[in-house]
Amino acid sequence: MRIGNLAFILTLFLALAGCSPSTSYADNHSENSAHASILLYHHVSESTPRITSVSPDELREHLEYLRDNDFTVVDIRDAIAAARGEKSIPEKSVVITFDDAYQNIFTNGRPILNEFNVPWTLFVTTDPVGSRPGQYMSWDQIRELHEEGVVIANHTLDHAHLPRRNDGESEQQWLQRMRDNILAAEAKIEEEVGVSYKLFAYPYGEYDNKLADLVAELGFVGFGQHSGGFGATSDFRAIPRFAAAGMYANLDTLGAKIAALSLPVTSAEYRDTLLRHDETKPKLTLTVDTSDFNRSQLNCFIAGQPHVPDWENDTTFSIAASEPLRVGRGRYNCTAPSKTYSGRFYWYSIQWIRPDANGMWPD
């Protein structure tokens, strides 16, 4: 069984990956042992960009792997409720999500998902729906998915890089534009499908502190594209999801992520996820519950390179890049093997955005 080599697999995968406010998670969420890994897909096709695509055969392989290794695919709403201590989910739980409402999800992915009878979520970018036949689904198709039990959720109006400010735009003007975008997309989904679950996925997984706070203020649960397990101590403004397409579709590495646990972080300190151009080595400080892993076994990775965490005391450590982060999106990842859950790793990640001198970064 592939999961037996998790320690080697995890290290290999991470080697290939690429005065601060404090966020307290322990105060906001009930303490319980519920964990889930959330998988992120876009295209189900052999003719779309490989980086965001799985073939139908690969999607089938993933679902067979989950079935054959005793994982349970759960509804995203049940995973959230379990993390809040409101209900129970199986020990080995996984959530399946798709972004963007591409036509090939309906044509190629839906029959396979229905065959395995698993719940899944579709985060919809609303403007392209029905306006680009053959590329995006129609609202009739999305309503059909809803009738089949698919959770239809919010992925903005236009799939823009939300943290980017327009030329001459004030902070308040930008925040109002973000508010209008998110609420207009939610209203469109409610108008067309009749549901409003207040679940929101950031395009490209991009957010900064103010945007994450706005998502929470509007009553949404937010989802990013950084890696990590999901549990009670996750940041509900930006819940991690594991990309499962392209090079990440390989089950030799995906298996480790499917089994991931949420690192029990009680607080995270950093200035902002959106860096200044000259802020090249951001510092991250985490306070964690170390009762189920050995501190000596916690490893962190930055730009594919291992970084030894600096433990300030028994429960708090810091990490910072030793080399400047490149312009664009980057991550810090930290993992540790669990004492209780054999062969499974606690996993935490944070995504940074470093803009160029003009406030832009590559798509």
- CATH for 156: 3.20.20.370
In a domain, 361, yes or no: no
Beta-bridge partner residues of 267: 24, 287
As a whole number of angstroms, the distance between CA 177 and CA 32 comes to 37
Contact at 8 Å (CB) between 287 and 267?
Answer: yes
Predicted pLDDT of residue 17: 38
pTM for the predicted model, two decimal places:
0.92
Q: Of 115, 113, 185, which is closest to residue 152 (Cα–Cα)?
A: 185
- Choose among 43, 63, 59: nearest CA to 51: 43
- Which of 27-31, 274-278, 297-301, 305-309 shows the lowest mean pLDDT across its residues? 27-31
* Phi-psi domain of 175 (left: phi exceeds 0; alpha: psi -120 through 50; beta: other): alpha
Q: Coil, helix or strand for 123?
A: strand
Query: How many structural domains compose the chain?
Result: 1
Residue at 193 is within a domain: yes
The pLDDT assigned to 363 comes to: 83
Domain coverage including residue 104: 2-354
Per-residue model confidence (pLDDT) at position 22: 52
Q: At what angle do helices 139-147 and 171-193 cross, to 10 degrees?
A: 70
| Cα atoms found within 13 Å of the Cα of residue 92, Cβ hemisphere only | 18
Instruction: Tell me the one-letter amino acid at 219.
Output: G
pLDDT tops 60 at residue 32: no
Q: Rounded to whole angstroms, what are the CA distances from 102 to 45, 121, 136, 141, 197?
A: 10, 13, 4, 11, 21
Cα atoms found within 13 Å of the Cα of residue 114, Cβ hemisphere only: 14
CA distance 125 to 144: 17
- Which pLDDT does position 132 carry in this prediction? 83
% of the chain beyond a pLDDT of 70: 91
| pLDDT at 335 exceeding the cut of 80 | yes
Q: What is the mean pLDDT of residues 175-189?
A: 98
Residue 28 lies in a domain: yes
Residue 274 belongs to some domain of the structure: yes
Q: Is residue 363 part of a domain?
A: no
Q: What does the pLDDT read at residue 23?
A: 59
SS3 106: helix
In the DSSP assignment, the letter for residue 263 is -
Residues across the chain: 363
Per residue in 81-92, pLDDT (tens digit) is: 999 999 999 999
Is residue 73 included in any domain, yes or no?
Answer: yes
Look up residue 304 and give its DSSP letter: T
As a whole number of angstroms, the distance between CA 341 and CA 95 comes to 19
Which carries the bigger pLDDT value, residue 242 or residue 28? 242
- Locate tokens 């965001």: which residue? 52
On average, the pLDDT of the chain sits at: 92
Of the listed ranges 86-90, 129-133, 222-226, 231-235, the one predicted with least confidence:
129-133
**Structural domain contains residue 48:** yes
**Chain segment 204-229, per-residue pLDDT in tens:** 999 999 999 999 999 999 999 999 99
- Counting residues of the chain whose pLDDT is more than 90, the rounded percentage is 89
| Rounded-to-integer distance, Cα 205 and Cα 238, Å | 9
Per-residue pLDDT tens over the stretch 5-17: 333 334 434 333 3
Q: What pLDDT, on a 0 to 100 scale, did the predictor assign at position 340?
A: 95
Residue with tokens 């020990």: 91
- In this prediction, residue 26 carries a pLDDT of 43
Q: Does pLDDT of 20 surpass 70?
A: no
Confidence (pLDDT) at 252: 93
Q: Domain for residue 320, yes or no?
A: yes
